[in-house]
Structure 1
Amino acid sequence: MQLLDWVVLIVTLLFIVSYGAIKTRGSKNVEEYILGSNQTPWWTVGLSVMATQASAITFLSTPGQAYHDGLGFVQFYFGLPIAMIVICYTFIPIYHRLKVYTAYEFLEQRFDIKTRSLAAILFLIQRGLGTGLTIYAPAIILSSLLGWSLNWMNFIIGTLVIIYTVSGGTRAVNMTHKQQTFVIMTGMIVTFFIILSYLPDELSFNNALHIAGANDKLNALDLSFDTDKRYTLWSGLAGGFFLMLSYFGTDQSQVQRYLSGKSIRESQMGLIMNGLLKVPMQFFILLIGVMVFVFFQFHAAPLHFNPNNTKIINNSAYVGEYHKLEKDLEGVAAEKQEISMLYVNQLYQDYDNKELHNRMVALNNQEKDLRDQAKELIKKADVKAETNDKDYVFLYFILNYLPKGMIGLLLAVIFSAAMSSSASGLNALASTTAMDIYKRNVKGEKSEKHYVNATKMFTLFWGIIAILFACIGTLFENLIQLVNIIGSIFYGTVLGIFLVAFYIKYIRAKAIFYSALISQATVIYIFLMDIVSFLWLNVIGAGLTIGLGLLLQSFIKSPPDEEIPESLQA
């Protein structure tokens, strides 16, 4: 990185942190600190909702996902627009009518304190883990870039987020989301056009897509009913719908964003904005990863993208074998570039030469085989090494091919995304702990200022916990998948509780509480046994909670039936 990159990165981050801390300090009461005095306009609600979901993991991991597996991951988001409609017409009106601080307050009014506490605790577990991962993702970047300790990077990033989140609460989170979203979208759009400019002059965008398509990178739809496949149209519509319905409807990190809206209509418009823009945005980020794949058809790529693993192998007894694989890759890359250019030239004649097509695909398969052999050597050199390097693909491109200043901007994009999602997570964790756990158990009457200070202390507490989670985090198959897997394990059960609360008056507190406990234990077992793809856990968790609730209620003798207040009904 050059001096200009450091200036761009540092100035951007310091501006966001200081702006959020100075502009929003001094909240006088809980409503102002947690709900931002309900003064957030719809477009800020929409940007804040998008920024909360679009963590650094989205911009670090998604292009690498597309580089390896193509556009198929976009199916994960197909259920999102439908979920937004359901939430707008069911969840938001009830939350606003009840004037709740958290989504889980509603559950106490509908059921009892045990059910409210159970849902809140499940949220705290999964969001605490998720927030730690949103800190961990960008920490990888600087630790790789500077050779600094990963734990120190986790500490620095976590501290930056804690500063303005503790200072200004929800208003600080919402306000900084606007600046962060601007930085994020500017950086990604500019990067896309830079990648296109780096492709050979004779390669049009349309022909670049031909190369990607020939290597199965443009398969955005999978219509199969195979439940073992992670991403299909059906898992996206069904599993994705339940996951998004739970995430946006019951996860306090999102609920708190639209609870701060000026009115029901403003909150609804913010979510509809997210529903309209999220799938195209995700498709665009995946397309960037596909273009990075095309770029490396004409430029040299490393045998392994993770520099930490490269250091391990270079200091091991397997370095000779590894260098041989690198030589083999150079030969494959040279032939691949030649064949790719021949393939492009014949496309201009409206002719698709099958021999060239098959040879190009075969060379990419050879390259993949060499990379797999390299991973085996790395594993031999260090059995603890995580050999999956998807999350380093886009980072490698940024650091090695972008011009001066753009490197700093792209790193600012990833850091801004990390800070936006981490801040939302800490804000929600603190609010839930203060209002759903602490306030329910504290003795005596306490002032508004007391609960504001308590929420600030819980923000600091969860910030420290998230940093600790980040310090023990390891790369799973892929960071963005790990975050979604964690959510899928817990979201289905919580969603089942809320769906019963909204729509099934017959089921009462005791039945839903025990059905949720059984459902959660079953989902964890199914995940550990690897029975189905993780997206289906959302459907299973919600379905089990509802089904068991109906069954248990038929055996449980309920107290005399009381009419559920109209304010609690959908």
Structure 2
Amino acid sequence: MMFSSLDWGIVLVFIVTNLAMGWVLGRGVKTAREFNVGSGKTPWWAIGVSVVATYISALSFLGAPAWAYSDGLAALAIHLNYPIVILLVTAFFLPFFYNSGVASIYEYQERRFGTTSRAVMSAIFLVTQGLSTGAILYATALVLKFITGIPIPWAIVAITVLALIYTTMGGMLAVIWTDVFQAVILFGGAIVIMIALILLMPEPIADVLGNLKAAGRLSAIDTTLDANVPTTIWSGLIGMTLFHVTVYGANQMMVQRTLGARSIGDAKKSYLLMGYAAFPVYFLFFFIGVLAWGYYQGRPFDNTNEIILQFALDSGVPGLLGVLAAAVLAASMSTLSSAFNSMATASVIDFYERYFRKGASDAHYLAATRIMTLFWGGVIIIPAILYANSSGSILEVLSKIGSYFVGAKLGMYGLGFFSKHTTERGLLVGVFIGFVVIWAVATTTAIAWPWYCLIGGGATMGVGWVASRLLTGRQGEWSPYSIPGQRARFSVSGAPTSVDGWSTVPGRIDAKSLWLVVYLAATILGLVALEYLA
């Protein structure tokens, strides 16, 4: 299958623009901190768009429509929770990390518990991020193979090299600003695909929506009280809320860019943008999949991840295949660049600087971070090739994989924030038992994966607290890195408890963030209305 000259022109302009931005932004990077978190002058909206673009990857562009093609809008329920997630993350996580001035968020674990906890958390991040980034690489390689016939392994290498070039040159500044450019391409491409589907339907869109409703494809609110069903509103608002709290609050890749914001208020506003933007973005991708089901009248596909690619080919619209290719590349590269940068940062700060080369010059650590960026780019190629054996929705596959690890993150931060008596020895016992419990649940029961975070996190916290009491006994005072400890520190030190109307104290919810709750209620009502009014 060959691209037209118009298609190739669209993709070439996209690639050249990314490389040019990386080169221009990279000229201003002089220190390791600038490479890791940026200049400290980046506007909040750019950071916010970068957060959105990073998580809305090629997995969403291909995987969400594939998932909706199979299950309708039901899977959208697990993405309803972002307003609650962002409310919790901005209140409990961001103030800890921003106030500390760290570049690696896992330094918190060392200050709260000890060096081993920090290493464990950072290692979990590197493993889980490597697996998820590999899936993103595969998704993008699938596009190139479909369009050009390039074998998936070669396509994976080509995409990796492209993302590595501008990430290695520009660091976090290049990541953020190329994310902004890529977000425009990504969401613009998705809107073009949706409009093309509506205009090219074999029958009037009103009739299509009626058929979709009759087939149950527009039902996003499932109130079934069955833990074996993965896409109920309860799994979305409870289980997946905890899952996504760890994704946005305890994930180096997501938090790292906010550490270079101008103020704590800017850091929080950048995340609030995600709280409001996530639902309409995911709705767009899932609705595309539902419309594709109407367009193809439920025709089965060998690989549902190729549905949108097949539509771009079948539509015959000039340049649509090029727009889709650029959009998927944008979705992928926004996440790849963030992953490479954050994994390199964690590797150097949490391991290399701490255990292998203490006290070296800033120039040395800058060079080491760039080398580690290249290293992780090479490593991630391996799981990407392994994903080629998957034919189901890659978004669903990745979500299931991630659910095995998030319980440990949730437990470690939950105990760190709210437990007085938990110590490192007990915590590590809890983490180990938490993994055992999740393995047992996954292999011996039919409980759906969105509940794994709650189960694993609960086991980690319960066992960790009991083991701490047995191994080290009661603690006399709250840790200064717990929520009560932080509040006590602010009251004694006289440090400002707010800046420009935004709280600097961990555990305090900003009044401006409460509008997210209203927004959540409106989205649920909107989905109910869609089903009954279509």
TM normalised by structure 2 equals 0.87
In the TM superposition, structure 1's runs of 4+ consecutive aligned residues that sit over 6 Å from their partners are: none
* Equivalent position amino acid for 1:282 in 2: Y
- Cα pair 2:200 2:315 within 8 Å, conserved: no
The residue type paired with residue 62 of structure 2 is: L
1:60, CA displacement in angstroms?
A: 1.0
User: Which of 372, 376, 383 is the aligned partner of 1:458?
Assistant: 372
Change (3 A) 1:443 1:10: closer
Deviation per residue, 1:517-536 (Å, 9 max, x gap): 22123213322335411111
Say which of 522, 542, 546 aligns to 2:457: 542
Check conservation: 2:111, 2:481, Cα contact below 8 A.
no
Please name the residue that 1:32 is paired with.
Answer: 34
Summarize the Cα distance change of 1:256–1:414 in structure 2 as closer, same or farther, 3 Å threshold: same
Report the equivalent of 1:436: 350
For each residue in 1:336-359, what CA deviation from the matched residue of structure 2 results, as whole angstroms up to 9, or x when unmatched? Answer: xxxxxxxxxxxxxxxxxxxxxxxx
Q: Please show how residues 142-541 of structure 1 align to structure 2 within 5 Å.
A: 142-200=144-202, 203=204, 205-297=205-297, 305-306=301-302, 389-473=303-387, 474-475=389-390, 477-541=392-456
CA distance in 2, matches of 1:563, 1:489: 30
Secondary structure of 1:126's counterpart equals helix
From the superposition, tell whether residues 436 and 130 of structure 1 become closer, same or farther in structure 2 (CA, over 3 Å): same
Once the two structures are superposed, residues 321-368 of structure 1 have per-residue CA deviations (whole angstroms, 9 ceiling, x without a partner) of xxxxxxxxxxxxxxxxxxxxxxxxxxxxxxxxxxxxxxxxxxxxxxxx
* Contact 1:496/1:546 (8 A) holds in 2: yes
Distance 1:566 1:9 in 2: 48
Instruction: Give the alignment partner of residue 467 of structure 2, picking from 552, 560, 563.
Output: 552
Specify whether residues 528 and 164 from structure 1 end up closer, same or farther in structure 2 by C-alpha distance, changes over 3 A only. Answer: farther
CA contact (8 A) 1:55 1:418 kept: yes
| Equivalent residue letter for 2:179 | H
Q: CA deviation at 1:443?
A: 3.9
Match of 1:111 in 2: 113
Structure of higher CA gyration radius = 1
Cα-to-partner distance string for 1:278-315 (whole Å, 9 max, x where unaligned): 01111121111111122223xxx8x6534xxxxxxxxx
- In 2, distance between residues paired with 1:528 and 1:465? 29
SS state at 1:10 partner: helix
State which drifts further: 61-70 or 211-220: 61-70
1:63 alignment partner in structure 2: 65
What is the Cα deviation at residue 476 of structure 1? 5.2
Shift of 1:53: 0.5
Tell me which residue corresponds to 2:510.
none
Moved more, 540-549 or 550-559: 550-559
Q: Deviations over 1:130-187 (max 9, x none)?
A: 1111111110121233222111000000111111111111111001000000001111
CA–CA separation in structure 1 for the residues paired with 2:269 and 2:401 = 29
Residue pair 1:21, 1:168 contacting (<8 A) in 2 also: yes
In 1, distance between residues paired with 2:190 and 2:226?
A: 34
Report the alpha carbon displacement of residue 479 of structure 1 after superposing the two structures with TM: 0.2
Greater Cα shift, 135-144 or 471-480: 471-480
AA partner of residue 320 (structure 2): M
Structure 2 unpaired stretches of 5+: 487-505, 507-534
Q: How many residues align?
A: 482
- AA at the equivalent of 2:396: Q
Using the size of structure 1 for normalisation, the TM-score is: 0.82
CA RMSD in angstroms comes to 1.8
* Aligned mates of 1:285, 1:253 — CA distance in 2: 23
Deviations 1:364-401 (A, max 9, x none): xxxxxxxxxxxxxxxxxxxxxxxxx2111111111221
Provide the C-alpha distance between the structure 1 equivalents of 2:364 and 2:29, rounded to a whole number of angstroms. Answer: 12
Residue 206 of structure 1, CA deviation: 3.2
